[in-house]
Amino acid sequence: MTVTIRWLGQSAFLLDDGQHKLLTDPFIAGNPKCPVELDEALSWQPDAVLVSHAHGDHWGNALDFGKAGVPIIGTAEIGGYAQAHGAKNAVGMNIGGKYNADWGSVYLTPAWHSSSFPDGTYGGMPTGLVIEFGGLRLYFAGDTNLFGDMKLIGDMGLDVAFLPIGDHYTMGPEEAARALELLRPKIAIPMHYGTFPVLTGDPEVFRMGGHMRGVDVRVLAAGESTEV
């Protein structure tokens, strides 16, 4: 089965296996790199929205999808906040937990960062996501730095790793390239860079670092897709 991965800027991706669609960290409205309007994104009717943490550029428009009946999956705090604010099918989990659905599954991993909603409400621990989808195992790192337990995530056998490279708030491209040594994915896709001036990480530095480590790094322009 082929999975089409479309980057929507920052950490928002649309994953489509031909039968199901998933949306990660749905920062659509207000995202200067996003190539689509919110109404178009809502029309996709994804099977789930996966949220790594509660910062505005990741939580984004999750509630718009949640009010439309799309399940929002994240920490217990994210699920509780979504439910309290009108989401119809929020799923609250915690690190180490796994959620199974007809489209596959998502498992929450640690991420080293912080997490609060735009109104200041605590968003629980930030997370990464190991997603089973379309016959693939994908690691969506969320916002994080390099940490040694990435090796344990890599031991699961990864087809694709989505890694932040913007620097300042997360790993920069050199550190993200070092993370590939621990994660050992077949393919890596950089994210969380270039959206705002402070996110200066260079994707070509990451691409070169991945090439040196035998990883197929695919740098996408916002709106561009790749197939795996």
Look at the block and give the residue holding tokens 């929002």: 72
Whole-number Å distance between alpha carbons of 167 and 165: 6
Whole-number Å distance between alpha carbons of 25 and 227: 20
Q: Does domain 4-149+212-227 have CATH number 3.30.460.10?
A: no
CA atoms 188, 192, 197, 201: torsion sign: negative
CA nearest to 156, candidates 141, 139, 144, 171: 139
| Tens-level pLDDT at each residue, the chain (228 residues) | 799 999 999 999 999 999 999 999 999 999 999 999 999 999 999 999 999 999 999 999 999 999 999 999 999 999 999 999 999 999 999 999 999 999 999 999 999 999 999 999 999 999 999 999 999 999 999 999 999 999 999 999 999 999 999 999 999 999 999 999 999 999 999 999 999 999 999 999 999 999 999 999 999 999 999 999
Angle between helices 173-183 and 203-212 (to 10 degrees): 30
Count CB-CB contacts under 10 A for residue 32. Answer: 10
Is the Cβ–Cβ distance between 47 and 20 less than 8 Å?
A: yes
Whole-number Å distance between alpha carbons of 6 and 8: 6
Count CB-CB contacts under 10 A for residue 227. Answer: 8
The tokens describing 194, both together, are 């270039």
CA nearest to 97, candidates 136, 124, 117: 124
Chain-centre distance for alpha carbon 179: 16
pTM of the full structure: 0.97
Reported as a single tens digit per residue, the pLDDT across 94-139 is 999 999 999 999 999 999 999 999 999 999 999 999 999 999 999 9
